Every structure is written in C-alpha cells, then in structure tokens.
Chains A and B, each alone.
Chain A
C-alpha cells in the first residue's frame, strides 16, 4: 500500500483565499484524523471520522474550517477564508478498526500551508 497520501505537499496562498487540503487514507482503514502542527502549539487534533462520520470536531478552530469525508477513500479539509495564523503543517492519519479496539495509526507526510 502507498500509505496515507496527502496533497498538496506545499501551498502558499494569500490571506482571504480558499484552501483545500486532500487526503487518501490507507485502503481498509475506517478511521481518519486531521491534525495541525505548529511550533507554538504542537500537534492539535482538528477532527476525526469513523466510517466516514465525523465523531469529534471540537478541535476545529472556527467556522472558517470545514472537513468532509464523502467516501471511505477520500477526505478534504477546507479553510475559507484563510488567515496568516492558519499557517501550519496539516497532517492526515488513518487506522483500521479491530475487534474490540483499534489498530496502528499511520500518518501522511503532511501539507505545509503558508498564508501570506
């Protein structure tokens, strides 16, 4: 398997523009996470899905952020409008469910976002 695939790897945009980050989880994994990482705040959970259903979105900063998972093989994280403080590395991760628990979590390589 190719692992968790994220795109774009790098994005530079201007304040006010819409940003869409994409993630393809590992095939067969039914749990997907979006994280944001900055030097100041470390690794922050934004939202996670189980079986394409959002379970906990309490980490989504505000209404400018939205995430969707229309099917088991694709998820998007959208920021509209973007602001300089959104500059960070955004990670997607996925894992399988197991009988009575959860399997190993695998991360993508991240999308580095810079908002000017």
Chain B
C-alpha cells in the first residue's frame, strides 16, 4: 500500500532563505507527483505537477524534483517571503491497477517565513 510522508511537519525560516521541503513515497509505481499549497481556511492550490517520466518542474521561485527510484521528491523555494507561509502538501497518483489512479496525500509541512 502506497504511503506518502512529509518531513518535517513544521518549519520556520527567516525571510530570504532558500529552503527545501521533502516528500517520500513507498511505492515507485506512480503516474505523477503533485505539490499543493494550502493557506489557513482555504482550499488547496496546485503548485507543480511532475509526471513520472520527468525529473523536475519549475514555476517562478519554485522548483520540484522527482526521483522515482528512491521514492523522493523535493520542493525548493528560493528567496522565501512571508507570503510563502502556508502548508505544503505532496500527493502521488498510484499505478495500482485496482485503484485506477488513486491519489495519496502526505500530511503536509507547515511553513512559516518570518519577516
């Protein structure tokens, strides 16, 4: 059964710092991996989607990498800003034939960027 883990559960950094959020998964048979952001009291906003054939995706100050063989993904945030403060979640779409593309979420990393 696929499990997705995000460590640490919470992270606090000063403004301007570059940082890395981690996501690991137990079964490398995935279609894709997606990173989301959730602000308090809000829904989830998609940040980046990496298909299984890709190694990384970039959007602005965000860069996500995927290493399927080791079951890991990282989300790199450059020059962090207080507005980046949110909970970041990763999710994988499994290739489990019985589930036809089930989506498994990690529990998220709560990021706080201090001014």
- Chain A residues in the interface with B (C-beta under 8 A): 31, 33, 42-43, 45, 48, 50, 55-56, 91, 93, 97, 100-110
Contacts and interface: CB of A to CB of B under 8 A. Distances in A.
Nearest to A6: B43
Residue from the set A31, A48, A105, A110 with the largest chain B CB neighbour count within 10 Å: A105
16 contacts: A31-B101, A33-B103, A42-B108, A45-B102, A55-B99, A55-B102, A56-B99, A97-B101, A101-B51, A102-B93, A105-B46, A105-B91, A105-B103, A106-B46, A107-B44, A107-B46
B49 A42 contact: no
Interface residues of B, number: 23
User: Binding site of B, secondary structure by majority: helix, strand, loop or mixed?
Assistant: strand
Interface in B20-56: 31-32, 34, 36, 42-46, 49, 51-52
Interface of B: 31-32, 34, 36, 42-46, 49, 51-52, 89, 91, 93, 99-103, 105, 107-108
Contacts of B100: 50, 55
A55 B99 CA distance: 7
Nearest to B91: A105
Nearest to A42: B107
A56 B89 contact: no
Contacts of A108: 43
